[in-house]
Amino acid sequence: MAKNSDNLIKDKNPPALQIRNLKKTYDNGMVALNGIDLTIEQGDFFALLGANGAGKSTAIGAVCSLVNKTSGTIKVFGHDLDFERDMVKSFIGLVPQEFNFNIFEPVIEIIVNQGGYYGIQRKEAFRRAEALLKHLDLWDKHKQKARNLSGGMKRRLMIARALIHNPKLLILDEPTAGVDIEIRRSMWVFLKQLNSAGTTIILTTHYLEEAENMCKNIAILDNGEVIENSNMKQLLSHLQTERLVFDLKEPMATLPSSELFKIQFQDANTLEIELDKNSSLNFVFDFFNQHNIQILSMRNKRNRLEEFFMERISQNNKEKVSV
Amino acid sequence: MSWKEIWIAFKAVFIKEVLRFSRIWIQTILPPAITMSLYFIIFGNLIGRAIGKMGGFQYIDYIVPGLIMMSVITNSYSNVVSSFFSAKMHGNVQELLISPTPNIIILLGFVAGGVARGLGVGAVVTVVALFFTDLNIQHPIMTLLVVILTSFLFSTAGFINAIYAKSFDAVNIVPIFILTPLTYLGGVFYSVNMLPPFWRDVSLFNPILYMVNGFRYGILGISDITPTATFTLLFVFIGLLFSVAIFLLSRGIGLRD
C-alpha cells in the first residue's frame, strides 16, 4: 500500500496537510486548540513552533489520530481524516516527542513490526529496515534491545521506524531533543536529503536555530491559535533590529552614548548593542575606536528566529491583555 | 488496506505478542506448570485419596479438566491485560494507533496472542497432568472448541480491562478479586450438585462454571451443565465483550486523549 501511495492522491497537487478550524477541548475543559487553520504544501519543510503548552503536540496528535478532535477538518493530500482515516494514516510517518517503543524489543523487530502494521511483508520490511538503519548509522545495533541504546540512538530508531512505510508526510515532534550537536547535525543532513527527495516534513523544535536553518515556511502557535504563518525568509526580513554582544578586553565603569544605535551594559565586561538591520557595523567599530574601547569578541545575542519568536509571543500576550 | 495487507498486519501483531510472552517464558509459561503440579500432588494425590470418587471418577481425574481450564483462563486474561496495558503506559500502542491497521485487527491480534498463551500453558499443564493420571478424551472436538472459545473470551475481557486500567493496581483487581474467586467457585474442585439447592442455583450465575463443565464433558464425558448451555453462554459473552472492545477502540476511550 505504501508503495502505491502516489497513485492515491486525489487532486494533482493538493496540499500535504490542510487544517481548517481545528478545535480541541479536553475533558477537563482545557482548550488546547482554538480553531486553527494551516496549509502545508507538498514538498515543504515546515516549522511548527510554540512555547510549551501552545498546542503543537495536540495539533500533531489530531493529525495522526492520536487525539480525538472536537471539531474542524483535517485533510492529508486531499483525503479527509473523518472519511478516509486509513488512507490518511498510510501517508503519515510520526516521530513523537517521547520515546514510545517497547524497550525490551530488539531494534530490528520494532521497525519490522511497524512495517507489518502498514501491510508490508516481513521480508520486505526487513530489507527496508536494514537500509534505514545503515543510513542512520544504527545497523550494528539492530539485534540489541532498544533499552541499551543511547538517547541519540533511540531518536534515530524512532526516525527509522517512522520511515519504514515511505511516508509522504513526515512529522517530527522535537526530534533532536537531548541529542548532542554532532548527531543533531547529521540528523539535519538526513532530513534535508529526505525533503529534497520529495517528503514533506513538519518539524516542531525548541532549537530555533534548527528551524531557521532547515525550514522554508513557519507557523507559530500560542494558546491554541496560529499567531504567525508565513515564509521563513519573509518573516525574518520583518525583524527591524539586530542585537550584538561584545566582550571587552577591560572592564568599563561608564558608558558613552551613541545616536546611531542603542548601547547598554550587560555587565562591566560585556556590552549589548541594538542596531538597525540596515545600519553598517562600521559605525559600531568607529564608535569603539573613538572611545578607545578594546573588543575581544562579538556574537549575536540570539538567533534571528528566536528574536522574532519572542517578540511575536510577547506581542500576542499584550494584545490579549488589552482586549 | 487490502485483505492481504490486513492479514500481514494481523500476523505482525500476533507474532509480536507471541514473541513477547515467549521471551519471558520463565514468568509466563513455567509458573503455571509448577503451580498445577502442586495442585495435582496436594489435591489430587494426597487429599484426593481421602475424598475417593467424584462423578464416578477418581478425584484427581475429576479435577484435571478444571485445573487445565483454570490455567487457560488466567493466562489468556493476564497475557492480554498486561501486554495491552504496558503498550498503553509506555506509549507503544501509538505504533498501532497511527497505522492503518483496522481496530478489529488490533483486537484480534492481541486476543490471538492471549489464546496462544492460554493454549500453550494449557498444553504444558496437560503434559504435567499426564505424570499423575491418564487422560482419555471423550469428545475431542468439543474439548478443543470449549478451550479455544473460553481462551478467546477471557483474552477479550483482558483487553477491555487494559483499556480502562489507569494503573497496575487496576490491572490486578479483576484477576485477584473477580476471576480467581469465580474460578475456584466454578466447579473446578467439586460438582455443584453437591451444594445445597440455594447455593447450587447461585452457582449457575457463575459463567466459569459453564466453561469448566463444558471442558470436563469434553474430556470425561460428565458435566453439571449441558453442552448447549455452555456454547450458548460462550457465544453470547464473546459477542458481547467483543462488541464492547471494538466500541472502546473505535472511540479511542483510554487511548486517544
Q: How far is A201 from chain B (nearest CA, A)?
A: 17
Q: How far is A118 from chain B (nearest CA, A)?
A: 6
Residue B47 corresponds to which cell in the numbers above? 487429599
Q: Give the percent of chain B with pLDDT over 70.
A: 100
Q: What is the pLDDT of residues A109-123, one digit of tens each?
A: 999 999 999 999 999
A:283-312 residues touching chain B, CB 8 A cutoff: none
Q: State residue B110's pLDDT score.
A: 97
B:222-251 residues touching chain A, CB 8 A cutoff: 251
Q: State residue B74's pLDDT score.
A: 93
H/E/C letters for each residue in B127-163?
Answer: HHHHCCCCCCCCCHHHHHHHHHHHHHHHHHHHHHHHH
Q: State residue A320's pLDDT score.
A: 65
Q: How far is B208 from chain A (nearest CA, A)?
A: 34
* Higher-confidence position of B27 and B46: B27
Tell me the helix, strand and coil percentages in chain A, rounded to 5: 40, 30, 35
Residues of A in contact with B86 (CB under 8 A): 102
With cut-offs at 50, 70 and 90, classify the pLDDT of residue A1: very low
- Residue ranges per domain, chain B? 3-251
With cut-offs at 50, 70 and 90, classify the pLDDT of residue A323: low
Q: Is the pLDDT of residue A107 over 50?
A: yes
**Averaging pLDDT over each range in A214-218, A317-321, B116-120, which range is the top one?**
B116-120
Q: Which of A69, A98, A117 to mutate to test the interface with B (most CBs of B within 10 A)?
A: A117
Q: Residues B164-191: what's their mean pLDDT?
A: 88
Q: State residue A9's pLDDT score.
A: 54
Mean pLDDT of chain B: 92
> Which DSSP state fits A264?
E
Mention every residue, 6+ apart, whose C-beta is less than 8 A from residue A302: A243, A310
Residues of A in contact with B15 (CB under 8 A): 113, 116
The whole-angstrom separation of Cα A300 and Cα A212 is 15
Q: Residues A225-244: what's their mean pLDDT?
A: 79
- The 3-state DSSP class for residue B57 equals strand
Minimal Cβ distance to B12: which of A104, A105, A117 = A117
Beta-carbon separation of B101 and A117 below 8 A: yes
Q: Which of B2, B5, B26 to mutate to test the interface with A (most CBs of A within 10 A)?
A: B5
Contact A122, A116 (CB under 8 A): yes
Beta-carbon separation of A116 and B12 below 8 A: yes
CA-nearest residue to B19 within chain A is A105
Residues of A in contact with B90 (CB under 8 A): 100, 102-103
Beta-carbon separation of A101 and B13 below 8 A: no
Q: Residues A50-72: what's their mean pLDDT?
A: 91
Q: State residue B6's pLDDT score.
A: 96
Q: Is the pLDDT of residue B77 over 80?
A: yes
DSSP of A210-233, one letter per residue?
Answer: HHHHH-SEEEEEETTEEEEEEEHH
Q: Is the pLDDT of residue B130 over 60?
A: yes
Q: Is the pLDDT of residue A151 over 70?
A: yes
The whole-angstrom separation of Cα A71 and Cα A58 is 13
The whole-angstrom separation of Cα B250 and Cα B257 is 13
Q: Is the pLDDT of residue A278 over 90?
A: no
Residue A21 host element (H or E): strand A17-25
Q: State residue A87's pLDDT score.
A: 93
Q: State residue A64's pLDDT score.
A: 95
Q: Is the pLDDT of residue A277 over 80?
A: no
Q: State residue A6's pLDDT score.
A: 52
Contact A133, A168 (CB under 8 A): no
Question: A161 — contact with chain B (CB < 8 Å)?
Answer: yes
Q: Residues A289-316: what's their mean pLDDT?
A: 78
B:1-60 residues touching chain A, CB 8 A cutoff: 1-2, 4-6, 8-9, 11-13, 15-16, 19-20, 23
Q: How far is B153 from chain A (nearest CA, A)?
A: 24
Residues of A in contact with B113 (CB under 8 A): none
Beta-carbon separation of B13 and A109 below 8 A: no
The whole-angstrom separation of Cα A247 and Cα A236 is 26
Q: Is the pLDDT of residue B9 over 50?
A: yes
Mean pLDDT of chain A: 87
ipTM of the predicted assembly exceeds 0.85 = yes
Residues of A in contact with B95 (CB under 8 A): 100-101, 113-114, 117, 161
Q: What is the pLDDT of residues B85-107, one digit of tens each?
A: 999 998 999 999 999 999 999 99
Minimal Cβ distance to B100: which of A90, A96, A115 = A90
Q: State residue A10's pLDDT score.
A: 54
Q: Residues B137-145: what's their mean pLDDT?
A: 95
Domains of chain A in sequence order: 2-236 (3.40.50.300), 240-322 (3.30.70.1560)
Please state which of the ranges A58-67, A177-186, B116-125, B243-252 shows the lowest mean pLDDT. Answer: A177-186
Question: A86 — contact with chain B (CB < 8 Å)?
Answer: yes
Q: How far is A79 from chain B (nearest CA, A)?
A: 14
- The 3-state DSSP class for residue A282 equals helix
Q: Is the pLDDT of residue A8 over 60?
A: no
Closest CA to B75 of B152, B2, B8, B7: B152
B:55-114 residues touching chain A, CB 8 A cutoff: 86-87, 90-92, 94-102
With cut-offs at 50, 70 and 90, classify the pLDDT of residue B146: very high
Q: Which backbone phi and psi does A53 adopt, to 5 degrees?
A: 85, 5
Q: State residue A4's pLDDT score.
A: 47
Q: Is the pLDDT of residue A304 over 70?
A: no
The whole-angstrom separation of Cα B113 and Cα B110 is 5
Contact A62, A22 (CB under 8 A): yes
* Higher-confidence position of A301 and A82: A82
Q: State residue B249's pLDDT score.
A: 94
With cut-offs at 50, 70 and 90, classify the pLDDT of residue B42: confident
Classify the C-alpha dihedral B148-B153-B156-B157 as positive or negative.
negative
Q: What is the pLDDT of residues A74-94, one digit of tens each?
A: 999 999 999 999 999 999 999
Minimal Cβ distance to B99: which of A101, A118, A122 = A118
Q: Residues B226-243: what's their mean pLDDT?
A: 96
With cut-offs at 50, 70 and 90, classify the pLDDT of residue A259: confident
Please state which of the ranges A26-35, A178-187, B135-144 shows the lowest mean pLDDT. Answer: A178-187
The whole-angstrom separation of Cα B233 and Cα A312 is 64
With cut-offs at 50, 70 and 90, classify the pLDDT of residue A303: low
With cut-offs at 50, 70 and 90, classify the pLDDT of residue A186: confident
Q: Which amino acid is at A134?
A: K
Distance between first and last Cα of chain A: 50
Q: Is the pLDDT of residue A309 over 90?
A: no
